[in-house]
Amino acid sequence: MADYRYARSPRWIAGHALALGLVVLMVALGFWQLRRLDERRDRNALVEQQAAQPPAPVESLVEPGDGALVTDGLRFRAVSAAGEYDVAATTTVRATQDGAPGGYVLTPLELDGGRTVVVLRGFAGTDAGGDVVRPAPPPGQVQVEGIVVPVDRLDRPTRTAIDNVAVAAGDLLPVVLQASASQPADAADQLLAVPRPDLGDGPHLGYAVQWFLFSAVGVVGYPLLLRRRARDGT
């Protein structure tokens, strides 16, 4: 007959608490991944909805000084901009794309109405010296289309680069225009388009299933371990 008296010893009680804590943690991680999946699907729906709208002039949607309450509502919105590039203010931010080293090329576009918006023109590789190439933008008047990326949603190096641009640019809009098309064309032989957000579900569902399976192993396996210990008496 199985004897479970051993399981009431302080050492085993600590083991029970640890096993229970691990199961609770794994279940919580599983539900966290499901919440991440819901957030991703909500974001994907937002991307599709915003990008499907006819491009609107970016300066008609946002003003210099607008905060996150405004700019977040424009996230991924299809927009257009017309003006001339401030070539001297071009800056780059090191990054990789599809495993290749290089950087994002950002150039302020001085709009016809006097405002300025930073355009993420694309991704460029490096030269023989390892520096990010800075292709010259089209001269004169250009028309750019793309999507809105709020500045406060960018990583720190990109925000820092834009802050440096803001020192020289007047009336800088608090968004970046991630370009997808330009007339005239913009250095197509040197610039790669920055991909739009991936609309897949990502790994979250798979991770959730894994955490739930791990917790199930704990729920089933630990009592079996106790039973075997009680039966064998070792």
DSSP letter string over 140-164?
Answer: SEEEEEEEEEEGGGS-HHHHHHHHH
Domain that holds residue 11: 5-44+204-232
CATH of the domain at 65: 2.40.50
- Are 17 and 73 part of one and the same domain? no
Task: Read off the tokens for 88.
Answer: 């001297």
Does 155 map to a domain?
Answer: yes
Residue 79 DSSP class: E
Output b/e per residue, 186-211; b: 16+ Cβ within 10 A: bbeeebebbeebeeeeeebeebbeeb
pTM above 0.85, yes or no: no
Does 192 map to a domain?
Answer: no
How far from 99 is each of 102, 103, 134, CA to CA, in Å? 10, 12, 19
Q: What percent of the chain has pLDDT over 70?
A: 94
Residue by residue, DSSP assigns 158-202 as HHHHHHHHHHH-SSEEEEEEEEEEEES---TTT-BPPPPPP-S-T
Q: What domain count does the chain have? A: 2
- The predicted pLDDT at position 227 comes to 83
- 120 class by beta-carbon count within 10 Å (0-12 exposed, 13-18 middle, 19+ buried): buried
pLDDT tens per residue, the chain (234 residues)? 666 777 778 888 888 899 899 999 999 999 999 999 998 898 888 878 877 888 899 998 888 877 776 777 788 888 999 999 998 888 888 888 888 899 899 999 999 888 899 999 999 988 888 888 888 899 999 999 998 887 766 777 777 777 777 656 668 888 889 998 999 988 777 888 888 777 788 899 999 999 999 999 989 988 888 888 777 765
Does 195 map to a domain?
Answer: no
Locus of tokens 């250095």: 187
Does 11 map to a domain?
Answer: yes
The whole-angstrom separation of Cα 91 and Cα 106 is 5
pLDDT, tens digit, 9 for 90 and up, residues 122-151: 999 888 888 888 888 999 999 999 988 877
Does 224 map to a domain?
Answer: yes
- Are 62 and 178 part of one and the same domain? yes
- The predicted pLDDT at position 74 comes to 82
- Are 173 and 60 part of one and the same domain? yes
- The predicted pLDDT at position 167 comes to 57
Does 38 map to a domain?
Answer: yes
Does 138 map to a domain?
Answer: yes
- Are 70 and 151 part of one and the same domain? yes
- Are 94 and 27 part of one and the same domain? no
- Are 216 and 114 part of one and the same domain? no
Q: Within 10 A of 45 (CB to CB), how many other CB atoms are there?
A: 11
- Are 70 and 107 part of one and the same domain? yes
- The predicted pLDDT at position 170 comes to 64
- Are 69 and 127 part of one and the same domain? yes
